Amino acid sequence: MSEITITRTDTDTKASYTATIDGVEGAGELTLSKVSDTLIIADHTAVPDTMRGMGVAAALAERLFADARAAGQRIVPLCPFVRGYADKRREETSDVIQW
């Protein structure tokens, strides 16, 4: 399987992660809102049909968790995918998820 490349774009109040795979059309995206320096909201995750089943949404969520850990942030998982992903991994995400 090809490697997933994830880039992050930030504004003052929002951020988004974009995932691409060489040779695969489209891009996956995870968006978030910045509530404060220590609290962010995972708003939405979308992956095109061309990337379904390739682990793109999971890779986006993992990058979000890693970045939040590094920044000392907590995540409010409003996005159904991020909520479900974190719920299935409560023990390993408890340090970053704000339930």
12-43: per-residue pLDDT in tens?
A: 999 999 999 999 999 999 999 999 999 999 99
By three-state DSSP, how is residue 77 classified?
strand
Q: What is the pLDDT of residue 76?
A: 98
Q: pLDDT confidence of 51, banded at 50, 70, 90?
A: very high
Confirm whether 37 is domain-assigned: yes
Q: Which domain holds residue 60?
A: 4-93
Domain count, the chain: 1
Q: pLDDT confidence of 2, banded at 50, 70, 90?
A: confident
Instruction: Kindly state the average pLDDT of the residues 78-99.
Output: 97
Helix (H) or strand (E) holding 89: none
Q: What is the CATH number of the domain that holds 74?
A: 3.40.630.30
Q: What is the pLDDT of residue 1?
A: 58
Give percent of the chain above pLDDT 70.
99
Q: What is the pLDDT of residue 13?
A: 97
List 32's β-bridge partners, or say none: 15, 42
Q: CA-CA distance, 96 to 32, in Å (whole number)?
A: 14
